[in-house]
Chains A and B, each alone.
Chain A
C-alpha cells in the first residue's frame, strides 16, 4: 500500500512537472522587465469595476485597431502606490501606464515621475481635450500648467437617501440640504428597533477614508488644514465645530460599528437598506442602482453634498491614466491612454456592457448622450453639477496653499491625515475626545508646515 501511494504521488508530481514545463514555453516566465521589441505595453491598475471593464474590452477593440497588446496587473490602492513609487524611484521600468489617483498626480508630477500628456492630448483633435471637465483638468495639472495624467472617470460626493424611508415619515429632501437639516432628518429617521440608522458616514481611520467626507465638512464649516501661509489650523474653532458635529451625528444616529466603517462597509449598510442617508462618493450610485449588488436599487434619491457656510461642498476625485517617466513606449502608452479616456470608449462601454457602466464624470459630452442620461437619470445631473462646482484650488472660505478639496496636495498629508483620523475615529468609538484629537493633530500639522513656511 505505501508503495502504491508513493507511485501515485510520484506520478502526480511528474504530471505537475510536465504541465509546468509546458507552460514555461508559453511565455509565462518573462526574461527581465517587459518585452521592449514587440508591441506590448504593461498596465498597472486598481481593481475598481471600471478597470475590470477595460480589461474585458481591450483585446477585442484596442488591440484589434492598433496591434498593441496590453498586459494588465490589478492591485489594491496601497500596493499599487508602493509599486509605482518603487518602480519609478528605482528606474525599474516595469510599467508603461498606471492608474493614479487625483491626490498623487500633482505630487508625482512635481517629483518628475510622470510623463506630461498635454502635448499629445492637444495635438490630437479627435481627443477633444476641451471636452474634459475643468476641475478634473486642474486637479491633474502640475505647477507648469501641463496635464500629467488623463482622467478615466471622476467623482464628487453627494448625499444619498432612501426614498421609501423618507416617504414613510413624510420628509422631503431639498436639492441642496444643509448639515443642520441632515442632522434633523437623521434624528427623525433613526429607528434602532428596526436596525435602521439615521445616517451612514465613514469612521474608519485613513486620510482617504474618514477624512475624505470629514474634510469637506470642515471646508463648509469655514475650517481648513492650513491657511495660505502654511499656518496649521487644525485646532481652530471652525475645524473643531465641524469635527464635533460629525462625531456627534455619527455617535447619536450613525450606523453600528461606525469606527470601522469605510466606503465598502457603508455601501453594504446603505445598500442593504439599513441606513436612511449616506454621504459619500457619487460613484457609489452605479453599484446602488445595480439590483444584483444592492437591495435599494430604484429607491435611492440623490442630493448635493450638505453645506453650512459654502454654496457647494462636494469633493473631487478621479482615477487617471498616467505614464511613468521610466516607460520606453510612450507612444504606444499614449495611444492606450487616449483610447481609454476617449468619447468612443464611453460609447463602446455603453453599447457592449450597459450605459450605467460608462466611466463618467470626466467629459461634459457624456451627460448629453441620450442613452447615458436615461440610464443614470436618477443621479446624472447632481453628479455633473457636483463635479463642476468642486474647486480644488479654493474649496472653502479662505485661500489654500495646495491643491485638493478633501485632502491637502502634499506628500506628507497621507501620513498626517491618517494619524489624526485614528484619533478622531477613537473619539467616534468613545475612547478619546475631539479636543484631544485635534490638539494632537495641530502639533503634527505644525511639524508638517515647517517644511513649507
Chain B
C-alpha cells in the first residue's frame, strides 16, 4: 500500500516535470494555429478559432529548399561523423594507441574555443576556395563541429564492451571484422544511435555558421526561421508555424531512434 502511494506520488512529479518541459513546445504549436491578433493577447487566449492561415503563409515563402538543404547538411555530416568517430574511438578505448589520453584531450580542446573566434579564417578560406553558399561546405563544417563530441561519446560506449567477451571471441578465433560485427556493434548500437541523433540535432539547429556562410542557394532552415522576425508588423503566429514545421524532422528522428536512445543515453551514466 505504502509503496503504491509512493509510486503514484513519483508519477505525479514526473508528469508535472514533463509538462513543464513540454509546455513551451505545446505553446508554440497552439500559437501556430492562431491569427496574429490572438497570438499577441495578454493574458493569453486558450480558446480561439483555429486557422491554417499561418501555415499557408509559411509555404508561400517556399520552405522546401531550406528543409532540403538542412536535411542534406545534417544527414551527410552525421554519416561522416559516425564513420570517422567510431574507428577513432576504437583506437582510443579498446585498442588504445600510444598517448591516447593526449589525443582525447586534443579532440575536446577544439570545442573549447568559441566558433566565432575561429570564424574569420574559416570565412576567408571558404571564400577563396569558392565554396561560399554551398551545402557541401556546411557538411564539412558540421562534421568537424560534431566530431570531437562523437569521439568522446563513442569512446565511453565502447568502454562498456566487456574485455572478457572480446577475449573469449579471440580465443575462439574471431577476426577483427567478426569481433566488430558480432560482438562490438550489437553492444554499442544504442550508443551509436544516440551519438548519431545528437549530431543530427546539432547540425539541424546550427545557426551561426549557416547565416554567415550561406546566401541564396544553401541556406538551412534556421535561416528560414529568422526571416520571419520583422521590425514592422506582427509575426508571432507565423514564426510559431514555421518553427513547428522545422522541428518536425528532429522529432521524427528522435521517435524513430526512441528505443535505442533511452538505453544509449543512460549507458555512460550507470557505469
Chain A positions within 8 Å of B, measured between CB atoms, are 2, 5-6, 8-9, 12-13, 16-17, 19-20, 23-24, 27-34, 42, 44, 46-49, 52, 55-56, 71-77, 79, 82-83, 86-87, 90, 92, 94-95, 208, 263-264, 267-268, 271-272, 274, 281, 283-284, 286-287, 291-295
Chain B positions within 8 Å of A, measured between CB atoms, are 35-37, 40-42, 53, 60-61, 65, 68-69, 71-72, 75-76, 123-124, 127, 130-136, 189, 193, 211-212, 215-219, 223, 226-235, 256-257, 259-260
Contact among A2, A264, A286, A294 with B231 in the assembled complex (CB-CB below 8 Å) = A264
Q: Which 5 A-B pairs have the closest CB atoms?
A: A30-B217, A74-B227, A268-B40, A94-B215, A32-B130
Residues from chain B with a CB closer than 8 A to the CB of A56 are 60
Cα A83 to Cα B133 in complex, Å, equals 12
Residues from chain A with a CB closer than 8 A to the CB of B37 are 271-272, 291-295
Q: Is the CB of B134 within 8 A of A30?
A: yes
B150 to chain A, nearest CB (A): 17
Residues from chain A with a CB closer than 8 A to the CB of B65 are 28
Q: Is the CB of A9 within 8 A of B257?
A: yes
Q: Is the CB of A92 within 8 A of B218?
A: no
Cα A105 to Cα B211 in complex, Å, equals 23
Evaluate whether A6 and B189 lie within 8 angstroms (CB atoms) in the complex, with A12-B256, A23-B72, A49-B232 already known: yes
Q: Is the CB of B132 within 8 A of A23?
A: no
Evaluate whether A94 and B219 lie within 8 angstroms (CB atoms) in the complex, with A48-B232, A79-B211 already known: no
**A46-B230, A295-B37 given; 10 more Cβ-contact pairs under 8 Å:** A6-B189, A19-B68, A29-B135, A29-B218, A71-B217, A76-B226, A79-B211, A94-B133, A263-B231, A268-B234
Number of A-B contacts (CB under 8 A): 157
Cα A291 to Cα B234 in complex, Å, equals 12
Which residue among B35, B41, B60, B216 has the maximum number of chain A CB atoms within 10 Å of its CB?
A: B216
Q: Is the CB of B231 within 8 A of A77?
A: yes
Q: Is the CB of B230 within 8 A of A28?
A: no
Cα A42 to Cα B216 in complex, Å, equals 7
Q: Is the CB of A292 within 8 A of B124?
A: no
Question: 5 interchain pairs (CB within 8 A)?
Answer: A49-B230, A76-B230, A76-B231, A208-B231, A293-B35
Cα A2 to Cα B193 in complex, Å, equals 12
Evaluate whether A32 and B229 lie within 8 angstroms (CB atoms) in the complex, with A19-B71, A20-B72, A71-B216 already known: no
Contact among B60, B127, B132, B229 with A76 in the assembled complex (CB-CB below 8 Å) = B229
Contact among A13, A17, A47 with B227 in the assembled complex (CB-CB below 8 Å) = A47
Cα A86 to Cα B134 in complex, Å, equals 17
Residues from chain B with a CB closer than 8 A to the CB of A33 are 130, 132-133, 215
A90 to chain B, nearest CB (A): 6
A185 to chain B, nearest CB (A): 23
